[in-house]
């Protein structure tokens, strides 16, 4: 009775906070309700999550969690199921709890088929102590916010140890990442692998920061037949024989253009053309992960393909706007590998481009911004003729400008402005496109300012709760 009483009080208080946050216009209310509810009733998350009648899918890893999880949610909804999903990317235990609270009735009932949860790597053990996932999708592992996560080995170890405690959980793993692929053998779990085959954009050399340079089993340096980006590619160890596993779902014949990326897909369900209406090779990986998760849940491949072709990105994930016929793209960046891929997408745009880079150093961004020196900004020197201006803003905008200076970018193209003036600068620049890159806490204020000037081209992926 005591637990039941705490549960109802926690839900009432959380829903009151959600209402108040909306009334005051103070953010999305995607974490605070869960934080307070967990204080009142520590077991509330497990109680609510157990009501997902067909099970729970979790997505974790460094990059692509929000996009992959929202893609899976779209697939599952198209298949006719009701879902609970933390679609806004609030992926700590407080955000996961809030997602269930939004779906819960005042009596604590959650009427859904699947819970689809993006979970922060460091929070994964804490969340899985309350929520049992039937399937865990792991996207990739890259160095990220060292002051918060610590070294990458520690992050991988946390997830591996948590997985071992989950009997019966199946894995969907990125075969191309030598840091992800071994989790099947090291945890003794069944795995369904996805990856990319060789295509015309692969490279024989990767100068970017690579975390998976050495074999996770014997420590010998890995040999690569080719790279997709960073440590993702076709690898093998000359010492112990560890190698890229055969992918159950594999993309080939990759093609990019017109704000989308496509490939030919081979899977146990046959051959299909996969269209992801968001540019970037990393988004193709997200689509492959979502396709694999959909197949694992028994969704028909035609339904999955159709759902992914209609996907619209969440806020800041290559989100598209239009300002006086000028295309505007807003993209989140948070670590060297993601930033490098963001720069790759920038250089694929028809020039000239007006660029805004917003860097904050709050706790959610990581207080240490030294990671900016691991980003390959030097590519902007080589292609500076395609860039009309580079406007730096945010709490560490000045340091960003210094980084561009040492990367060799012509200083007459670099400007430091406050956020409002920075947005006005790139929107009214003479470039064909405006491209905005922002860290976590800079993203939301930047999106609010941008929304005041530019029209969002497509509805942001927003999945209704089941309540």
> Half-sphere exposure of 284 toward its Cβ, with a 13 Å CA cutoff?
31
> Half-sphere exposure of 338 toward its Cβ, with a 13 Å CA cutoff?
25
| Closest alpha carbon to 88 in 103, 69, 106 | 69
Give the three-state DSSP class for 314: coil
The answer to whether 261 and 284 are in contact (CB under 8 A) is yes
Report residue 113 as tokens: 């088929």
Report residue 93 as tokens: 């235990």
Return d(Cα 381, Cα 364) in angstroms, integer.
30
Report angle CA 401, 405, 408 to the nearest 5 degrees: 140
Of 147, 153, 363, 368, catalytic: 368
Return d(Cα 209, Cα 107) in angstroms, integer.
50
DSSP secondary structure string for all residues of 95-122: HHHHHHHHH--TTS---EEEEEEE--TT
Largest Cα–Cα separation, the chain: 69
41 annotated ligand binder? no
Angle between helices 281-296 and 301-309 (to 10 degrees): 150
361 is catalytic: no
112 annotated ligand binder? no
Angle between helices 2-24 and 32-40 (to 10 degrees): 160
Task: For residue 455, give every residue at least 6 positions away whose Cβ sits within 8 Å of its Cβ, in sequence order, or none.
Answer: 321, 322, 323
| Closest alpha carbon to 233 in 211, 248, 264 | 211
Is-cis flag, bond preceding 60, omega within 30? no
The pair phi, psi for residue 210, each rounded to 5°, is -120, 125
The string over 15-38, giving b where at least 16 C-beta atoms fall within 10 Å of a residue's C-beta and e elsewhere, is bebbeebeeeeeebbbbbbbbbbb
Give the three-state DSSP class for 162: helix
> How many whole angstroms from its chain centre is CA 96?
15
Give the three-state DSSP class for 355: strand
The answer to whether 145 and 67 are in contact (CB under 8 A) is no
Give the three-state DSSP class for 56: strand
Annotation: binding site for Zn(2+): 215, 218, 237, 240
Which residues are tagged catalytic? 368
């Amino acid at each position: 009775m005591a637990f039941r009483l705490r549960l109802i009080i926690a839900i009432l208080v959380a829903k009151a906070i959600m209402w108040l946050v909306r009334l005051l216009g103070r953010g999305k209310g995607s974490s605070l309700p869960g934080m307070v509810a967990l204080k009142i009733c520590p077991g509330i998350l497990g109680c609510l999550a157990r009501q997902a009648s067909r099970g729970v899918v979790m997505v974790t890893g460094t990059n692509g969690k929000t996009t992959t999880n929202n893609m899976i949610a779209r697939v599952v909804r198209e298949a006719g199921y009701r879902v609970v999903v933390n679609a806004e990317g609030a992926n700590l235990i407080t955000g996961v709890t809030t997602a269930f609270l939004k779906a819960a009735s005042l009596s604590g009932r959650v009427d859904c088929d699947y819970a689809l949860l993006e979970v922060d790597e460091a929070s994964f053990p804490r969340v899985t102590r309350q929520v049992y996932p039937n399937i865990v999708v792991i996207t990739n592992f890259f160095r990220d916010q060292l002051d918060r996560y610590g070294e990458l080995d520690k992050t991988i170890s946390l997830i591996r140890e948590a997985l071992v405690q989950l009997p019966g959980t199946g894995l969907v793993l990125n075969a191309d990442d030598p840091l992800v692929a071994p989790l099947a053998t090291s945890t003794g779990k069944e795995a369904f692998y996805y990856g990319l085959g060789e295509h015309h954009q692969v490279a024989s050399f990767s100068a970017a920061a690579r975390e998976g340079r050495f074999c996770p089993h014997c420590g010998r340096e890995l040999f690569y037949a080719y790279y997709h980006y960073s440590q993702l590619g076709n690898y093998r160890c000359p010492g112990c024989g560890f190698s890229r596993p055969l992918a159950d779902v594999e993309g080939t014949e990759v093609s990019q253009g017109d704000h989308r990326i496509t490939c030919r897909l081979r899977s146990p369900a046959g051959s299909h053309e996969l269209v992801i209406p968001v540019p970037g090779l990393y988004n193709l990986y997200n689509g492959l992960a979502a396709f694999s998760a959909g197949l694992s849940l028994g969704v028909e491949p035609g339904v999955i393909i159709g759902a992914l072709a209609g996907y619209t990105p969440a806020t800041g994930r290559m989100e598209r706007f239009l300002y006086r016929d000028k295309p505007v793209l807003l993209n989140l960046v948070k670590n060297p590998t993601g930033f490098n891929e963001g720069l790759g997408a920038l250089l694929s745009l028809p020039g000239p481009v007006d660029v805004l880079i917003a860097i904050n150093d709050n706790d959610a961004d990581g207080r240490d911004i030294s990671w900016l020196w691991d980003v390959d900004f030097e590519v902007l020197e080589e292609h500076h003729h395609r860039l009309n201006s580079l406007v730096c803003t945010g709490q560490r905008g000045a340091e960003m400008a210094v980084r561009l200076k040492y990367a060799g970018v012509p200083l007459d193209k670099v400007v430091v402005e406050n956020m409002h003036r920075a947005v006005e600068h790139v929107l009214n620049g003479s470039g064909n496109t405006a491209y905005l890159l922002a860290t976590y806490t800079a993203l939301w204020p930047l999106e609010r300012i941008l929304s005041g000037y530019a029209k969002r081209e497509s509805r942001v992926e927003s999945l209704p709760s089941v309540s």
